[in-house]
Amino acid sequence: MSTGSLWGGRFKESVGQQMQEFGASLPVDIRLYEQDIRGSIAHANMLCVQGVISTSDKQLITDGLRDILKDIQAGNDEFLDIKHEDIHMAIEAELTSRIGAAGKRLHTARSRNDQVATDTRLYVREAAESLCLAICSVRSAIISVASNHTDAIFPGYTHLQRAQPILLSHHLLAWQNMLERDYARMLASKASADVLVLGSAALAGTTYDINRFAVAKELDFASVSNNSLDAVSDRDFICDITYACAMVMMHLSRICEELILWSSSEFGFITLSDAFSTGSSIMPQKKNPDFAELTRGKTGRVYGNLIGILTTLKSLPLAYNKDMQEDKEGLFDSIDTVSLCLNAVSGMISTMHINANKMLEAAQGGFMAATDLADYLVKQGLAFRDAHEVVGKIVLFAEKNKLQLHQLSLAQLHQFSDVFGADALEVVKIANVVDARTTYGGTAKDQVLSQLEQAQQRLTQDIKASRTLPR
């Protein structure tokens, strides 16, 4: 009695409909159809060269697989039915129904264990490259805005309290640096997936005389796995890209939180484009930063996907276990989510309007030149702690009299220390405060212009490095 399954020879009865649906991964791994077909064509080509299958069978198999690929791409995919457990069995069954016995020879010298790992690695390589380029798109938008506003003075914050004035470009380049690190992590996840595992079979390799290196060359893998047991059970590369995605979302969430704050009436530093805002169903005046909020909100689901895969792999014995079927849903969701969010953030940044006057007004408030005034006293010979106390008293006086530091006269400064000279009045001017930060990586304009130039150079290099897969 046959169960009708591709693995049914051992079984006397079929799995029930409910359990078949429970065990099927086809609704999830169906998106691996292209990778599965590419891997199968490379496998068939190698089997033919090695004399494992005939040239005529190889031609039937590869032509049949290409026809199936065209049909799926055209939407003629009714054969991808839930009666098949996964995308591999669905394609193999359809191939066999089209070309006959030759189709049954395709699975020689491989297992679904090494097949699905190969498919997923191919997918992750391509997805990581795509995400690298999407990250570069956001970085490009940031660098463009920063380059167009190199004179805009911005209030820098600690504890969300005004701290020291900086250039807006300096702040934006901090975003760029965050995403530059994300790019490096994403590129590393691509390298992590760039290992051929096909030919490891179920866990111990195969008795057939196969050439794994030829398959690696055809599929453009950088290396070949050197332990068949590890190869079929390794999902580190999925953890790597899911972690990279989580880090991207953490940084996008921080950026979006600032966009939300800056676009509020209380700040008014930026105005988001109507194309990246929504209104209220009841309050006609509202313009809500919904897409920034949604990006911030989606961070949790990507974090959850990372915890999910780590938990799935925890305590699994070698080699393959059915638990690993749960490795792809979170992976696909993370990749899809990050891709959408990167596109949204790139659009928000590139189209937002900068309200430079509001930023300057905020930078001139909050006694943000206090540290510079204390540094002035230190340079005149006072100990820093004594200078700190003097300036603290000056701030208290100014606050009581509703004055800012740049509005104080020399006579008023002399009430607290006769060390002050006329040049102290220049020290507290906001533009001078900003331009005094000349240390490497500081906010002085010359430093920021240098940072911009270096950031653009690194971006250009990274875009080039991203595009290494065959086109």
CB atoms within 10 A of CB 351: 15
Antiparallel, parallel or unpaired: β 223-224 and 195-196: parallel
* HSE (side-chain half, CA atoms, 13 Å) at 202: 4
End-to-end CA distance of the chain: 47
pLDDT for the residue 8 = 59
Please state which of the four CATH numbers 3.40.640.10, 3.40.50.300, 1.20.200.10, 1.10.10.10 is assigned to the domain occupying 113-355.
Answer: 1.20.200.10
Distance CA 46, CA 376 (A): 75
Sequence-ordered list of residues with C-beta below 8 angstroms from that of 17, at least 6 positions apart, any chain: none
Tokens 């890209």 sit on residue: 241
Antiparallel, parallel or unpaired: β 161-167 and 270-271: unpaired
Distance CA 322, CA 349 (A): 44
CB atoms within 10 A of CB 365: 13
CB atoms within 10 A of CB 67: 14
Burial category of 189 from C-beta neighbours within 10 Å (exposed 0-12, middle 13-18, buried 19 and up) = buried
Distance CA 302, CA 247 (A): 9
Sequence-ordered list of residues with C-beta below 8 angstroms from that of 437, at least 6 positions apart, any chain: 166, 443, 444, 447
3-state SS class at 443: coil
pLDDT for the residue 238 = 98
pLDDT for the residue 366 = 82
The one-letter code for the residue type at 142 is I
What CATH topology corresponds to 8-108? Answer: Fumarase C; Chain B, domain 1 (1.10.275)
Checking 67-70 for CB contacts under 8 A at 24+ apart, the result is: 67/98, 68/37, 68/94, 68/95, 68/98, 69/33, 69/34, 69/37
Bridge partner residues of 102 (DSSP) = none
Distance CA 75, CA 104 (A): 25
The one-letter code for the residue type at 74 is A
pLDDT 10s digit of each residue in the chain, 471 long?
344 455 556 666 666 677 666 767 888 999 999 999 999 999 999 999 999 999 999 999 999 999 999 999 999 999 988 778 899 999 999 999 999 999 999 999 999 999 999 999 999 999 999 999 999 999 999 999 999 999 999 999 999 999 999 999 999 999 999 999 999 999 999 999 999 999 999 999 999 999 999 999 999 999 999 999 999 999 999 999 999 999 999 999 999 999 999 999 999 999 999 999 888 778 877 889 999 999 999 999 999 999 999 999 999 999 999 999 999 999 999 999 999 999 999 999 999 999 999 999 999 988 888 999 999 999 999 999 999 999 999 999 999 999 989 899 999 999 999 999 999 999 999 999 999 999 999 999 999 999 999 999 999 999 999 887 765
pLDDT for the residue 471 = 53
Bridge partner residues of 353 (DSSP) = 271
pLDDT for the residue 2 = 41
Domains of the chain, residue spans: 8-108, 113-355, 362-450
Tokens 């940072």 sit on residue: 451
CB atoms within 10 A of CB 356: 16
Q: CATH for 362-450? A: 1.10.40.30
Residue 469: which of 219, 131, 117 has the closest Cα? 219
Distance CA 94, CA 453 (A): 55
* HSE (side-chain half, CA atoms, 13 Å) at 172: 32
Residues annotated as part of the active site: 159, 280
Sequence-ordered list of residues with C-beta below 8 angstroms from that of 421, at least 6 positions apart, any chain: 380, 410
Residue 259: which of 216, 291, 227, 284 has the closest Cα? 291
CB atoms within 10 A of CB 70: 10
Q: Do the Cβ atoms of 32 and 87 come closer than 8 Å?
A: yes
Residue 325: which of 140, 86, 164, 1 has the closest Cα? 86
**370-379 vs 384-400: helix crossing angle, rounded to 10:** 140
* Backbone φ and ψ of 110, nearest 5°: -150, 165
**236-262 vs 290-313: helix crossing angle, rounded to 10:** 160
CB atoms within 10 A of CB 128: 28
